[in-house]
Structure 1
Amino acid sequence: MFELLQSNWSTFLTGFGHTILSSIIALAASLALGTIFALLEVSENKPLRIIASVYIEIFRNIPLLVVTMVFYLVVPMYVVKIDGFTAGTIGLSLYTSAFIAETIRAGINSVGDGQMEGARSNGMTYVQAMRYVILPQAFKAALPPLGNQFINLIKNSSVLSFVAGFDLMYQADTVAFSTYQVIPTYIITGIFYLILTMPLSYYMKHLEKTMKQ
């Protein structure tokens, strides 16, 4: 197995780099989108709530692979040409953002109504109260499930392998089919994913304990 890794080191490293890059972009994008749609879900404006609910239900109930294929096949055909990496990252971002939106919405709902009323009575606008009072508490409450979503995002990044995104799984398939060493190849691939997910898991647990103090 070590010889396999050594002889295909650059291939694995390339895939590892693409997986990291896609995960970072998707994490930032899905967190931003998820926060926006969570805020729309709890908005006092009914049309905005409907828009947010439709968005979330669509992307929560369509498989990630289908979302990715739409951006890989349909969008280039009718809108603009994009490569597999971009299509996979966009699909991953939109798909994950729906779950993050629900997580943050639950966090917002866990904050007592008196917090908003108190902030508004002190002269804050709705936006200011949400930004400075409600959201910090909501993120604190939602931290454990958010951590799970981030870890799932990294694992789900393997969807890029279906659209030639040159991620870790795509490169692993290349090595496996060229060397016929299937089991060692995917063991190595699993170790690379653990290198990404395990530190994040421990960090999120540490952050959760720190915020409880």
Structure 2
Amino acid sequence: MSLTSDPPIDKETVQDPVTEYGRLTVVPVRHPWRWAAVAATAVLLAQFLHGLVTNPGWEWDVFARFFTTETILRSVWVTLQLTFYGTALGFALGIVLAFMRLSSSPFLRAVAYAYIWAFRSIPLIVQLLFWFNLAYLYKELQFGIPFGPGFFTFDTMNLVGAMSAAVLGLALHQAAYAAEIVRGGVLAVEAGQLEAAAALGIPRLRQLRRIVLPQAMRSILPNAANEIISLFKGTSIVSVMAIGELFYQVQVVYGRNGRVVPLLMVATVWYVVLTTVLSVLQYYVERHYAKGAVR
């Protein structure tokens, strides 16, 4: 057996890797279809804007005349009130229902599940009409011994007005969806953090307030913001109860003057503007709770 060794390496023949990479020609990646899609989108957008400006059917002079009238501004304020009260009450009840579903008590879990199942199953318009017609279903309410004599009785005719019925229906409906959003956010927090907090002797309420909820908000906020925006636009459904919110008031106006398209554009632009404001608020709130998690 003979042993052979590799031939000696000539240092002059070895090329410097840096020098070798420097000789390469860098060719950028071509995206012809991307630019074609951009051009096609730009053409379609230009055609749409041109149609908005030149088509007399939009009647922009009528739109400008009614966009900031006192009637429309009052209806926008009613829409914002319905959204605020429905969101505040709905998420307050939804948080309670979410922690009831996360409870170790079978009774609390069953009650919360039954509530969520019922209010997600019944259409919102049906719920609103039930609350609006409460006086027809129950002409009076009694407080006393169950299935026995009543001690206090009061008439329900003026108990729930149109606005109260709308807020109640929106809030109870919203609570069912808010509960699942909050529950999903809490479940997204790693269980080991609660175990570590408990091992350190941190009280349970402080665990929820300082450890669970700040992290759960990262998962809760996108879905919660979608629900709030959906509720804001969904307030138009209370027009069946003759409440003077934005869509109902627009219907009243174009029912009188026959200018359907420009009045619908008044409602559309107001919805777009206010939805944009809510989206901007969502962005800043999400950025606040993303500190330490997203660079």
Tell me if both proteins adopt one fold, taking TM over 0.5 as the criterion: yes
Residue number in structure 1 paired with 2:257:
179
Residue 34 of structure 1: aligned partner: 94
Kindly report which structure 2 residues correspond to 1:1-213, keeping only aligned pairs within 5 A, or say none: 1-3=60-62, 5-6=64-65, 9-75=69-135, 77-78=137-138, 80=156, 81=158, 82-213=160-291
Unaligned runs of 5+ in 1: none
Alpha-carbon distance in structure 2 between the residues aligned to 1:38 and 1:180:
48
The amino acid that maps onto 2:108 is L
Structure 1 window deviating more from structure 2 (5-14 vs 40-49): it is 5-14
Q: How many residue pairs align between the two structures?
A: 213
Offset of 1:123 from its aligned partner?
2.1
Which consecutive residues of structure 2, in runs of 5 or more, have no partner in the other structure?
1-59, 142-155
- 2:62·2:262 contact (CA, 8 Å) conserved in 1? no
Structure 1 pair 134/7, CA: closer, same or farther in 2 (3 Å)?
Answer: closer
Residue 43 (structure 2) aligns with: none
Higher relative contact order (CA closer than 8 Å, sequence separation 6+): 1
CA 1:196–1:208 in 2, change beyond 3 Å: closer, same or farther?
same
CA change 1:26–1:91 in 2 (3 A) is same
- One-letter code aligned to 1:50: A
Task: Measure how far apart 1:77 and its partner are.
Answer: 4.6
2:66–2:263 CA contact under 8 A, matched in 1:
no
Deviation at 1:59, TM superposition (A): 1.1
Q: Distance in 2 between matches of 1:76 and 1:25?
A: 25
Q: Which structure has the larger Rg over C-alpha atoms?
A: 2
Contact kept, 8 Å, 2:79 with 2:235, in 1: the verdict is yes
Instruction: Return 49-58 or 1-10, whichever deviates more.
Output: 1-10
| Larger helix fraction of residues | 1
Distance in 1 (CA, whole Å) between partners of 2:86 and 2:108 is 24
Tell me, in whole angstroms, the C-alpha distance in 2 between the residues paired with 1:96 and 1:38.
13
* Kept in 2: contact 1:85–1:164 (CA 8 A): no
Partner of 2:75, secondary structure, is: helix
TM-score w.r.t. length of structure 2: 0.68
Which whole-Å CA distance do the structure 2 matches of 1:29 and 1:169 have between them?
A: 23
SS at match of 2:133: helix
Normalised TM-score (structure 1):
0.92
**In structure 2, distance between residues paired with 1:212 and 1:178:** 50
Identity over the aligned pairs, expressed in percent? Answer: 29
